[in-house]
Amino acid sequence: MFVARPFKAQDLTVLQDLIRAHPLGTWVSVTPSGLDVNHVPFLLDPTHGPNGALLGHVARANPIWQSFSRDTPSVVVFQGPETYITPSWYPSKKAHGKAVPTWNYTVVHARGMPQTVEDRDWLRQHVSDLSQQQEAGQQEPWQVSDAPDNYIDAMLKAVVGIVIPIDALEGQWKNSQNRPPEDVSGTVAGLRARGDAQADAMADLVQGHVDAKDAALRK
């Protein structure tokens, strides 16, 4: 992934937090028939190696668990907040017209060599952990024990676990850092005026860079 210097994210905690907040990964792997892309919700195990590991599962009927390359690492892409940015929000556009549209986004790429897991106890613990993570905000959280054991056993036989120890993590936070202060302020105001969840999330990120820079200058 090409990353321009102003947008490069290197803090491990920041990168891992995005994975936790947006766990549906786009898993890209090399197979004998070419690139294969699958969308898998992953749990992050931060205790596995320096970068952690991704834990997921796929349907046994999905051939990817047998066909992914054992020689070429996979890439898993995690997409955070993203949105179109109009130059109409920039005071500089009104002053001299030298402004064009762009797209703000946050993304993390995790690289590693996948492994498969077919152990029933591992799979049961994995789906329990994944359910617990995603059900945490529900009024009545569902848990694996709510379903009959024979039903869960049948479901577990139909999936294969995937573990990807992360060899490398890279992130790109393209959040208007390359714009002059007045354009950054205009971007935040424009996003807030839109009022949708993606715009608000991006406005928080853009403003966060401003606040961090101001805090650094006050030290």
- The pLDDT tens digits of the residues spanning 38-75 come to 999 999 999 999 999 999 999 999 999 999 999 999 99
Q: How far apart are CA 158 and CA 43, in angstroms?
A: 19
pLDDT value at position 218?
67
**Whose structure tokens read 């030290």?**
219
Domain 5-177: assigned CATH number = 2.30.110.10
Q: What is the pLDDT of residue 211?
A: 86
Contacts of 66 (CB under 8 A, 6+ apart): none
C-alpha to C-alpha distance for 39 and 42, rounded to whole angstroms: 9
The confidence band for 217, taking pLDDT boundaries of 50, 70 and 90, is low
Q: Long-range pairs for 17-21 at CB < 8 Å and ≥24 separation?
A: 18/78, 18/80, 18/106, 18/108, 18/171, 19/44, 19/54, 19/78, 19/108, 19/110, 20/44, 21/80
**Boundaries of every domain in the chain:** 5-177
pLDDT tens digits, one per residue of 153-200:
999 999 999 999 999 999 999 999 999 999 999 999 999 999 899 999
- In three-state secondary structure terms, 71 is coil
- Top-confidence residue, 37 or 210: 37
| Mean pLDDT, residues 206-218 taken together | 81
SS3 (DSSP) at 100: coil
Cβ atoms 16, 76 nearer than 8 A: no
pLDDT top residue among 185 and 213: 185
Output the pLDDT for position 141: 95
pTM of the model: 0.93
State percent of the chain over pLDDT 90: 89
Dmax over CA atoms of the chain, in Å, equals: 69
CA nearest 31: which of 66, 75, 77? 66
Q: What is the pLDDT of residue 114?
A: 98
Q: What Rg value do the Cα atoms of the chain yield, rounded?
A: 21
